[in-house]
Amino acid sequence: MTFTEAGTARPSLTDPEPYLPEPRGAVSQFLFDSLVQPPHSLGPAPASTDDALLGDDAALALYLCYELHYRGWAGVDATWEWEPSLLALRRSLEDRFIQALFHVVGPPAPCTDVEGYLVDLLGRGSGPSLSGYLRDTGTIDQFREFAVHRSAYQLKEADPHSWALPRLSGPPKAALVAIQCDEYGRGDSFDMHSSLFAETLLALDLDPDYGAYLGHVPAVTLTTVNLISLLGLHRRWRGALVGHLAIFEMASVGPNTAYGHGLRRLGMSPEATRFYDVHVTADAVHQVLARETLAGGLARAEPAISGDIAFGARAIMATEERFSRHLLGAWGAERSSLYRPLPQ
């Protein structure tokens, strides 16, 4: 942890590699047992039998594979990242994941007006308002749980979408660079959005270290992150990644405004709300850029992948709706929304 000149605590920017979380089934146990050994060709893996989107074993196994492309795992040899047999296992998990998404939102289909489609899709959103609940009636303990859920992505915010940069060109690429520049603090490491979220965690008396709560978040949360990683790691899904980011930015201002108001209602400090307040300002610009120049521009430049852009937009809407329903359902039943509740 570091401190500003005024003495305000700020999170460390040199997070250690996260530790492997506890396995949740046969496949994640197989990966755990393999990754702690020197890289080698994997034998036959157990078949993944639980739900590809909501099963804890499948979701964690895929997350374990993907994290090798981010910070890696403490005590795990970095050369596991490109071990062919592990990539084959990851591919089998991804195939089930994609097929499950197709079942929920439909496969890619031609889309002649991507910009209009994105606007219409947002307008048709039918999920419960998680942000409205937290703004009006959420408790501090529920906000802490919400922050734990979101830490799985927010502490790596912008990284998965940045994989699209070498796969785009012209105006869409320039638009993505402009968006990502803000996400990364315009060159100031303390203003990176991941750093701002770490400040929010500290203000909520939570651990700001990268990966600290992976053992606490359920499959429905891991799936929201696995989706972006899958789309980002495959050039074939670059259009879907752009559609995902476009909705991400277009749907940001209202919820982040609500989260900030909810924290202020509970008497939280500016350090707790800064992450959300910054997004309200930045995403007011980003939402237009993401819709018109990034998504719309890519559809005009590569009409053949316009359906992929629409698919990525539907995929984030569906996974986020399931996420919101899970949290609100748990809180409505007066129980924790986490896989493993936080210590009292």
Helix (H, G, I), strand (E, B) or coil at 29: helix
**Alpha-carbon gap, residue 146 to 338, rounded angstroms:** 9
For the chain, give the mean pLDDT: 94
For the chain, what are the domain ranges? 17-103, 108-332
What pLDDT shows up at residue 137?
A: 97
pLDDT in tens, 219-243: 999 999 999 999 999 999 999 999 9
Burial of 274 (0-12, 13-18, 19+ CB in 10 A): middle
What pLDDT shows up at residue 12?
A: 56
**Alpha-carbon gap, residue 223 to 66, rounded angstroms:** 12
| pLDDT tier at 343, thresholds 50, 70, 90 | confident
Closest listed residue to residue 338, CA positions, set 19, 21, 18, 16: 21
* Tokens, residue 130: 């998680």
pLDDT in tens, 90-140: 999 999 999 999 999 999 999 999 999 999 999 997 778 999 999 999 999
Burial 158-177 (b: 16+ CB within 10 A, else e): bbbbbbbeebbeebbbebbe
Mean pLDDT of 316-340: 97
Say which residues have a Cβ less than 8 Å from residue 31's Cβ, sequence separation at least 6.
23, 45, 61, 64, 65, 89
What pLDDT shows up at residue 7?
A: 41
**Alpha-carbon gap, residue 3 to 304, rounded angstroms:** 50
pLDDT in tens, 27-47: 999 999 999 999 999 999 999
Mean pLDDT of 252-271: 97
Q: How many angstroms separate the Cα of 156 from the Cα of each of 114, 298, 311, 317?
A: 28, 25, 23, 20
Homologous superfamily of domain range 108-332: Heme oxygenase-like (1.20.910.10)
**Alpha-carbon gap, residue 288 to 260, rounded angstroms:** 22
Say which residues have a Cβ less than 8 Å from residue 45's Cβ, sequence separation at least 6.
27, 30, 31, 89, 92
- How many Cβ atoms from other residues are within 10 Å of residue 267's Cβ? 8
In this predicted structure, the answer to whether residue 14 has a pLDDT above a threshold of 90 is no
Only one residue has tokens 């919400």, namely 146
